[in-house]
Amino acid sequence: SQVQEAVPPVSVMCRIRPLQSYPEAYSHDRCSLAIENQDIIVEDVVGKQRKFRVDRVLEGSLLQEDLFAAAAPWIESFLRGASACVLAYGATGSGKTHTLQGAAADAGIPAVPGLSHHALRRVIEGPGGQPVKLSIVEVYCDQIRDLLSTNCTAAGGSVVLQCSRRDGQGRMVLETQEVLVNSFNEAEEVLQRGYAARATEATLC
């Protein structure tokens, strides 16, 4: 389709977390960040500069809806039968969870949906939408954990999956728990259940 042809196979976007959103403890750290078109220039505490080029820079002033608009071409391509993956990568505290999961309502402040919520609403309830099966896994300390499994390990954690089987095309097959959802509300409940089972501490292993 024309949409699929217009979507590049891989696109790297960098979302800038607003500096004012960091804890006050970091406010005195010397760090310089500059954006020149698609280049991001970072200067560390000793004055050394590094330059990174990406396909698009998503500055800190953008809303979650703006982020979804940036990812929308891949979601539309998925609805037309293509495969799509959104990978959030970054250091602990850089905003990966907020980007994908959003923020819950707090002290009168309304909830802020994440990219996963926007995408699921479009896939299920948008034009051409349909019920979907959801599975949620987490890669943590070199283990793949099933966050929707109704079983638990002896220590009370999520089930660890083994990568021991591949399909006819050589793709890895995981025996994950799949949940069929017919509405966005059902999907949101499944997301919250999966998110609640995530490891929340920093990755130190």
* pLDDT tens, residue order, the chain (205 aa): 444 456 788 899 999 887 777 776 555 555 577 888 899 998 887 888 999 999 999 888 888 899 899 999 999 888 888 888 888 888 888 888 888 888 877 777 788 888 999 999 999 999 988 999 999 998 888 888 999 988 765 455 678 888 778 888 888 888 889 999 999 999 999 998 998 888 766 555 5
- Which region holds residue 147: left if phi is over 0, alpha if psi is between -120 and 50, else beta? alpha
Angle separating helix axes 184-196 and 115-125, nearest 10 degrees:
150
pTM of the prediction? 0.74
pLDDT the model gives residue 51: 92
Beta bridge partners, 43, equal 32, 49
Residue 143 and residue 161: Cα distance in Å, rounded? 7
* CA angle centred on 116, ends 152 and 26, rounded to 5°: 90
Average pLDDT in the chain: 83
Torsions phi, psi for 126 (to 5 deg): -80, 180
Residue 14 and residue 201: Cα distance in Å, rounded? 23
Kindly compute the dihedral angle of the four CA atoms of residues 187, 162, 155, 204, in this order, to the nearest 10 degrees: -90
Residue 136 and residue 165: Cα distance in Å, rounded? 18
Beta bridge partners, 39, equal 36, 53
Residue 82 and residue 84: Cα distance in Å, rounded? 7
Residue 31 and residue 49: Cα distance in Å, rounded? 10
